[in-house]
A = this chain, B = another copy of it.
Amino acid sequence: MLAMLSVRNAKLCRMPRSQEPFRLEVADRLHSAAIHLLRHARKRDVLARVGPARLSALSVLVFGGPMALGKLAAAEQVKAPTMSRIVAGLKRSGLAKIETDAKDARRIRVTATAKGERLLQQARARRVRLVAETLSGLRGPELDTLLKAAELMERAVRQAAGTR
């Protein structure tokens, strides 16, 4: 629903690289497609009783190891108060535990529990399956394209986040 605005008419003169018409066109379509893909997956993901932000934070903890709240917030591109609440929720559900840092009493050390790891694997697998079902009409070469695209998106975000 967000993909119908033509961006081909953008002015050509004196624009930063990011505003070249074709780049805008791609950004437009990709933005819309990403929204729809995730919305469609979310729609049938009522099973996980955890919520996307907590699941994502838990993922960082599981694969990145224990870390301080601030670092977790940065990794998730979220402000500290938001992450504070997310971590509180994870703790309340027994999915993560909190210890105080021995070196710096201001910091906390957030760690995924065994239960948290288990839940993450299950919830993640379910979510991935939902996306895979959405992609079930596509064939090999098309999947290749999507895989390349996913890599490009990750790389672009990493770079943009690092630059800022």
Residues of B within 8 A of A27 (CB): 128-129, 131-132, 134-135
Copies per assembly: 2
Residues of B within 8 A of A124 (CB): 2, 5
Instruction: Identify which of residues 22-48 in chain A touch chain B, using a CB-to-CB cut-off of 8 Å.
Output: 22-41, 43
Residues of B within 8 A of A104 (CB): none
Known: A27-B134, A30-B131, A37-B153. 20 other contacts (CB 8 A): A1-B76, A2-B55, A2-B124, A7-B128, A19-B132, A22-B140, A23-B136, A26-B135, A26-B147, A27-B129, A29-B154, A30-B135, A30-B146, A37-B157, A136-B160, A137-B155, A138-B155, A142-B152, A145-B149, A146-B152
